[in-house]
Homo-oligomer: A and B are copies of this chain.
Amino acid sequence: VSRWKPDSRRRLQDAALALYAERGFAEVTAAAVADRAGLTERTFFRHFADKKEVLFGDEAALRDVLVAAVTAAPPDAPAAEAVLAGLEALAAHFQERRDRVVARAHVIARSPELRERELAKVASWTEAVASALRDRGLPPPASAVAAEASIATFRAAFRQWVQGPADRTLADAVRGAFADLSGFVRQDRARPRDRP
Query: Whole-angstrom distance between the alpha carbons of A41 and B193 in the complex?
Result: 52
Asked whether B142 lies within 8 Å of A184 as measured between CB atoms, the reply is yes
Asked whether A148 lies within 8 Å of B141 as measured between CB atoms, the reply is no
Residue A187 lies at the interface, judged by CB distance under 8 Å to chain B: yes
Chain multiplicity (copies): 2
Residue A146 lies at the interface, judged by CB distance under 8 Å to chain B: yes
Residue A80 lies at the interface, judged by CB distance under 8 Å to chain B: yes
Asked whether B142 lies within 8 Å of A180 as measured between CB atoms, the reply is yes
B119, B123, B145, B191: which contacts A184 (Cβ < 8 A)?
Answer: B145
Partner-B contacts on A (CB < 8 A) = 77-81, 84, 112, 115-117, 119-120, 122-123, 141-142, 144-146, 148-153, 155-157, 159-160, 176-178, 180-191, 193
Asked whether B80 lies within 8 Å of A188 as measured between CB atoms, the reply is yes
Contact sample, A vs B, 13 pairs, CB 8 Å cutoff: A77-B191, A80-B188, A80-B191, A81-B187, A81-B191, A81-B193, A116-B116, A116-B117, A141-B156, A141-B180, A142-B184, A148-B155, A149-B184
